[in-house]
């Protein structure tokens, strides 16, 4: 390893190309980072005696077949380097805008941004694949899509806006000279005997914010022949990364949990590395690990985006799990989906498994059983199942659990549905929507509906009279229970009106498009008896929906 202090100008000049490895993450600088760079530029420009240390760049030479072009992998510093190039491109554009005839208008381009005489290696920086099109558009001087949310575009717009307030050409030139000559860096160049992967790990240990998924990507690609990296990246890692995006780390965590133990977030990489070190004895093994990741990532993508599931029966369940927000079940779902994909489970069997898991989750939520045990429980379930009859085995396992893992039986579930205060519990909306959907082919759009207390939260004298002498106890006992709750789009209109008014008004229960509300039309008053009758009726439907 060789290190020397230098200027950005000297670091960039010459016929060279810095390649961001395919396994590095995409550009991630936010406004606070580029704002700090701009402030440092201005401060350094205004102080004739000062210089500014801009950090280090860790690079490693790579073989190149292009005569005259020296190529380097950039191990660390890609975010700063790409930002410098975006700034120089914006500065170049502003200089040309002010004076298209400026005699040195091509200086930035030809000395620092491109290799003029090597069109096959034109750009001096090649970012990771997901960033290339946007980055090259900016460097080429074309009009980039300014309405894009891409961080590279946002950085370009930031500098473009700052520079647009400067109308003096000499001041723009001064900014260029400040960056190139007064910003110093440490150029750390690795040699062939150095292990760039160990550099990645040590940089992360000293505070460089690489994510657990970044480290896993680094680990895998560092073990591939450089000549194979592009092809493997295109076929395996890039599709997975594009599909899962911010969910990639969660996916790998749940993938690892399929073996029975879910790692803590800060242990994802260490757990993966320990397993992969054991499995990956050759490059072929590394590729097989990535192919398996890709396979399971496709299942995970469907969990996240159920509309991508082609089978309507399965799509419906994945939509349910999304609404229930039960990501703790994903390790088990991954194993079951793989069995379905490999035809070990029929679609009906798989759907029955999903039904059992849904019933387990809903019954526990209605009965108020804490969910904290599920994070460690779900990953252990699959290993304990009888592989000759997964459907029956799963049902029996969940039905027979005890303690913190138990599933309420029919009697407990029915009692909780009728008596527990469910308002404020996130399961309530799910319950009401599924009760409305049951045996209903004309389901309304639930998006604009609110939860309505039929007996209102604040009682008028008329309501107290209707409820009778025990109005206070009735109100306290039943207000937030299932029997007294429904869905409506007219919550403000109903307000504290009496039941008969809510029933008979133009937008009342009688005229509602919801089956839940049309069921109320048969009642002439709303007292303890009616609330209990409705709770009984709804709990019977719920037992049909979430049967075990």
Rounded to whole angstroms, how far apart are CA atoms 70 and 75?
A: 16
Q: How far apart (Å, rounded) are the C-alpha atoms in residues 226 and 480?
A: 63
pLDDT over 90 at 18, yes or no? yes
| pTM confidence score | 0.72
Average pLDDT over residues 142-154: 89
| The predicted structure's pLDDT at residue 199 | 64
pLDDT at site 23: 63
Beta bridge partners of 329: none
In the chain, what percentage of residues exceed pLDDT 90? 77
Structure tokens at 84: 């410098």
CB 401 within 8 A of CB 408: no
Where are the chain's structural domains?
Answer: 2-205, 212-304, 306-408, 443-541
Q: What value does the mean pLDDT of the chain take?
A: 92
- pLDDT recorded at residue 203: 58
Q: Looking at residue 144, what is its pLDDT?
A: 85
pLDDT(206) > 90:
no
E strand or H helix that includes residue 86: helix 78-98
Output the pLDDT for position 64.
56
Two structure tokens written together for 91 = 């500065």
Statement: residue 183 has pLDDT above 90: yes
Query: What are the pLDDT digits (tens) for 379-409?
Result: 999 999 999 999 999 999 999 999 999 999 9
Amino acid 98: pLDDT: 93
Please report the pLDDT score of residue 192 as a whole number: 63
In angstroms, rounded to a whole number, what is the distance separating the alpha carbons of residues 126 and 16? Answer: 11
- Per-residue pLDDT at 487 exceeds 80: yes
pLDDT of 319 strictly over 50? yes
CB 520, CB 509: distance < 8 Å: yes
Q: CA–CA separation, 314 vs 308, rounded Å?
A: 10
Q: What pLDDT score was predicted for residue 196?
A: 59
Pair type for strands 183-189 and 2-7: antiparallel
Secondary structure class of 222 (helix, strand, coil): coil
Count of residues making up the chain: 548
Mean of pLDDT values over 3-25: 88
């Amino acid at each position: 390893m060789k290190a020397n202090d230098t200027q950005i100008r000297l670091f960039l000049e010459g016929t060279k190309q810095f390649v961001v490895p395919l396994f590095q993450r995409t550009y991630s600088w936010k406004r606070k980072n580029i704002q700090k760079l701009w402030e440092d530029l201005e401060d350094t420009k205004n102080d004739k005696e000062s210089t500014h240390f801009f950090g280090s760049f860790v690079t490693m030479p790579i073989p190149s077949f292009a005569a005259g072009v020296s190529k380097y992998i950039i191990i660390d510093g890609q975010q700063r380097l790409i930002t410098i190039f975006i700034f120089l491109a914006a500065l170049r554009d502003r200089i040309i805008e002010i004076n298209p005839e400026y005699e040195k208008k091509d200086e930035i381009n030809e000395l620092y941004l491109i290799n003029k005489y090597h069109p096959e290696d034109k750009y001096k920086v090649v970012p990771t694949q997901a960033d290339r099109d946007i980055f090259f558009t900016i460097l080429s001087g074309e009009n980039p899509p300014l309405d894009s949310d891409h961080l590279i575009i946002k950085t370009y717009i930031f500098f473009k806006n700052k520079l647009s307030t400067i109308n003096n050409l000499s001041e723009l030139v001064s900014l260029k000279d400040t960056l190139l000559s007064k910003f110093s860096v440490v150029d750390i160049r690795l040699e062939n005997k150095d292990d760039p992967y160990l550099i990645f790990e040590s940089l992360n240990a000293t505070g460089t914010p690489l994510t657990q998924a970044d480290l896993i990507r680094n680990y895998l690609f560092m073990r591939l022949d450089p000549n194979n990296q592009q092809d493997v990246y295109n076929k395996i890692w890039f599709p997975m990364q594009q599909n899962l995006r911010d969910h990639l780390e969660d996916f790998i965590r749940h993938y690892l949990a399929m073996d029975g133990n879910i790692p803590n977030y800060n242990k994802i990489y260490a757990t993966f590395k320990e397993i992969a070190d054991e499995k990956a004895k050759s490059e072929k093994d590394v590729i097989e690990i990535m192919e398996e990741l890709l396979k399971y990532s496709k299942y995970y993508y469907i969990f996240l985006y159920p509309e991508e599931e082609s089978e309507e029966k399965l799509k419906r369940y994945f939509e349910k799990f999304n609404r229930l927000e039960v990501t703790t079940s994903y390790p088990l779902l991954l194993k079951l989906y793989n069995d379905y994909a490999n035809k070990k489970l029929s679609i009906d069997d798989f759907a029955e498994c999903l039904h059992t898991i849904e019933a387990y989750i809903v019954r526990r939520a209605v009965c108020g059983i804490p969910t904290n045990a599920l994070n460690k429980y779900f990953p252990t379930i699959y290993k304990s199942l009888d592989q000759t009859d997964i459907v029956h085995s799963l049902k029996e396992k969940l039905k027979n659990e005890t303690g913190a893992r138990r599933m309420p039986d029919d009697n407990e579930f029915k009692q909780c549905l009728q008596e527990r205060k469910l308002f404020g519990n996130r399961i309530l909306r799910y319950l009401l929507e599924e009760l409305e959907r049951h045996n209903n082919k004309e389901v309304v759009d639930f998006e604009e509906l609110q939860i309505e207390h039929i007996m209102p939260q604040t009682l008028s004298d008329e309501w107290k009279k209707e409820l009778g002498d025990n109005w206070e106890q009735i109100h306290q006992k039943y207000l937030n229970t299932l029997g007294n709750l429904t869905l409506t789009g007219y919550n403000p209109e109903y307000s504290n009106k009496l039941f008969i008014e809510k029933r008979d008004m133009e937008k009342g229960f009688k005229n509602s498009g919801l089956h839940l509300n049309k069921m109320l039309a048969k009642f002439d008053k709303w007292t303890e008896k009616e609330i209990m009758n409705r709770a009984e009726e709804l709990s019977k439907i719920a037992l049909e929906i979430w049967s075990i």
